[in-house]
């Protein structure tokens, strides 16, 4: 039973230490409180750089992480210097992984993250700030969470508003069908924010086209095969009434094109995301327009912001709000400029200046 004896002895010592420490420390705690939590650490010379995201299966996230890798390579480090935290669509795993990495690195961390859902952003940011690490978020955060409320540790947040660009591609489509007839929409996973915004964009555009009817809108879950099946159903139900198709992203568009091809139909479609395959299809005029959000830059710059704040290259709290919460870039790709766009952005991925943090960004995020 010696281990019990040992335990009791240890506890006695612990309690004594605690009493002494609290008597001694009370004044000290008050003093450090004045300095604030963020001041506990000055610049981190060589922070670990990590990207936390869903997984690489999706071409979009693959591009994002590719940008993160390009950034660490620009530092003269190997690609695998970037630590990958893969949450597989689980917010719990996302948070647990971040906490594990924080204790492993003792807070010497520059983290770029999509927290999987909006409510998860707050615990992630709070954990990073408490450990003295630097974090930049992409896409998901709640409206009441702001980088400037955390001193320097919550460096920045970037997101995209898809409603406007989706409305513009919808206008291109509606013009192409001569402003009358029926259109269908194939959406993403119904509860995803981009899916909702992209459908809203179409609905906004339709207000100016009274002769166009939105025949149907169904979720295709961002999935090529499901999109082909849903489109086949639409063709059965509406047949030649469908004059144009509005797709929530490129991968859905590929499925729609194959469904149309199987029927020998050729009608205009527009997509979103500007993946390389979609851009090629735009150049061949099989897709009418897509929107490029430059995920490569987005992934790289999110990591760069966290890294440069961590090393002290810039001080986030000295920057205006527009540099802490901003929209990412959107570039329209249409048949006229597809070739040029492909040459500039896809065939040779441009070498970005990762210290130009806000050049391509698109203004401060507005809340409704």
Partner 1 sequence: MADVTADPAQSKRLFPRERIIQWAPLLVLFVLLLLFPFFEWLEDFREAKDHIYLLDSRFFSIRNAARIAMSSAPALMVAVGVTFIIIMGSIDLSMEGTVSVCAVIFAFAFIAWGGTILSWAWLAIPVAMLVGAAMGFVNGIVHVKLKIPSFMASLAMGFVGTGLALLLTGGDRIRVEDPIFRSLLTERWFNFPVMCYVALAFLLIAWFIQSRTTLGRNFYAVGGGEELAHASGLNVERVRIMGFTLAGVFFAVGALLAVGRIGIAETATGNNFMFVSITAVVVGGTALWGGIGGVWNTLVGVLIVNVINNGMVVIGLPGWVQDGTLGLLVIAAVVMSTDRQSVSFVK
- For position 218 contacting partner 1 by CB under 8 A, the verdict is yes
**Hey, what long-range contacts does 333-341 have (CB within 8 A, 24 or more apart)?**
333/274, 333/278, 333/279, 333/282, 333/289, 333/290, 333/291, 333/292, 334/172, 334/282, 334/288, 334/289, 335/282, 335/283, 335/285, 335/288, 338/279, 338/280, 338/282, 338/283, 339/283, 341/279, 341/292
- For position 355 contacting partner 1 by CB under 8 A, the verdict is no
CB of 218 or CB of 311, closer to partner 1: 218
- For position 225 contacting partner 1 by CB under 8 A, the verdict is yes
| Nearest-approach distance from CB 335 to partner 1, in angstroms | 20
Residues 41-70 that bind partner 1 (CB under 8 A): 55-59, 61-62
CB of 59 or CB of 329, closer to partner 1: 59
State the CB neighbour count (10 A cutoff) for residue 165.
Answer: 22
CB of 229 or CB of 336, closer to partner 1: 229
Beta carbons of 303 and 49 less than 8 angstroms apart: yes
Q: Which of 180, 237, 315, 321 binds partner 1 (CB under 8 A)?
A: 237
CB of 175 or CB of 258, closer to partner 1: 258
- For position 362 contacting partner 1 by CB under 8 A, the verdict is no
Q: Which of 219, 253, 299, 328 binds partner 1 (CB under 8 A)?
A: 219
How is 89-146 classified by DSSP, letter by letter?
A: T-HHHHHHHHHHHHHHHTT-EEEEE--SSGGGHHHHHHHHHHHT-EEEEES---TT--
How is 53-72 classified by DSSP, letter by letter?
A: ES-SSSHHHHHHHHHHHHHH
**Residues in contact with partner 1, shown as a per-residue x/- string from 143 to 182 under the rule CB under 8 A:** ----------------------------------------
Q: Which of 126, 175, 223, 337 binds partner 1 (CB under 8 A)?
A: 223
- For position 74 contacting partner 1 by CB under 8 A, the verdict is no
| Nearest-approach distance from CB 245 to partner 1, in angstroms | 14
**Residues in contact with partner 1, shown as a per-residue x/- string from 308 to 347 under the rule CB under 8 A:** ----------------------------------------
Distances (CA, A) of 144 to 24, 90, 118, 182, 321: 38, 22, 11, 40, 14
How far is 171 from 326, CA to CA, in rounded Å? Answer: 26
State the CB neighbour count (10 A cutoff) for residue 161.
Answer: 18
Q: Which of 130, 190, 313, 322 binds partner 1 (CB under 8 A)?
A: 190
| Nearest-approach distance from CB 225 to partner 1, in angstroms | 6
Question: Where does this chain bind partner 1 (CB under 8 A)?
Answer: 55-59, 61-62, 190, 216, 218-219, 223-226, 228-230, 232-237, 239, 254-255, 258, 261-263, 277
């Amino acid at each position: 039973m010696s281990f019990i004896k040992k335990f009791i002895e240890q506890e006695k010592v612990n309690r004594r230490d605690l009493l002494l420490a609290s008597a001694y420390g009370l004044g000290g705690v008050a003093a450090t409180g004045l300095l604030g939590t963020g001041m506990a650490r000055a610049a981190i010379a060589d922070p670990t750089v990590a990207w936390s995201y869903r997984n690489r299966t999706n071409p979009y996230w693959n591009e994002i992480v590719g940008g993160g890798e390009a950034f660490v390579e620009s530092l003269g480090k190997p690609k695998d210097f970037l630590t990958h935290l893969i949450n597989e669509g689980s917010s719990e795993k996302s948070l647990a992984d971040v906490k594990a990495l924080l204790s492993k690195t003792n807070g010497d961390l520059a983290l770029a993250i999509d927290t999987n859902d909006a409510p998860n952003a707050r615990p992630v940011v709070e954990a990073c700030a408490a450990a003295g690490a630097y974090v930049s978020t992409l896409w998901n955060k709640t409206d009441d969470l702001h980088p400037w409320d955390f001193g320097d540790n919550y460096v920045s947040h970037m997101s995209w508003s898809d409603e406007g660009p989706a409305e513009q591609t919808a206008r291109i489509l509606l013009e192409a069908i001569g402003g009358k007839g029926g259109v269908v929409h194939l959406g993403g996973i119904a509860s995803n924010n981009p899916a909702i915004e992209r459908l809203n964009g179409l609905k906004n555009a339709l207000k100016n086209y009274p002769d166009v009817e939105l025949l149907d809108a169904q979720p295709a879950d961002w999935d090529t095969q499901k999109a082909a099946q849903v489109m086949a159903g639409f063709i059965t139900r509406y047949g030649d009434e469908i004059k144009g198709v509005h797709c929530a992203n490129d991968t859905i568009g590929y499925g729609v094109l194959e469904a149309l091809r199987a029927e020998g139909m050729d009608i205009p479609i527009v997509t979103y995301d500007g993946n390389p395959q979609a851009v090629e299809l735009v150049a061949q005029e099989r897709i009418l327009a897509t929107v490029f959000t430059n995920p490569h830059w987005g992934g790289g710059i999110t990591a760069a912001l966290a890294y440069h704040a961590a090393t002290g290259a810039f001080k986030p709290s000295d920057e205006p709000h527009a540099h802490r919460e901003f929209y990412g870039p959107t570039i329209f790709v249409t048949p006229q400029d597809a070739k040029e766009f492909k040459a500039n952005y896809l065939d040779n991925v441009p070498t970005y200046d990762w210290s130009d943090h806000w050049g391509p960004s698109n203004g401060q995020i507005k809340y409704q």
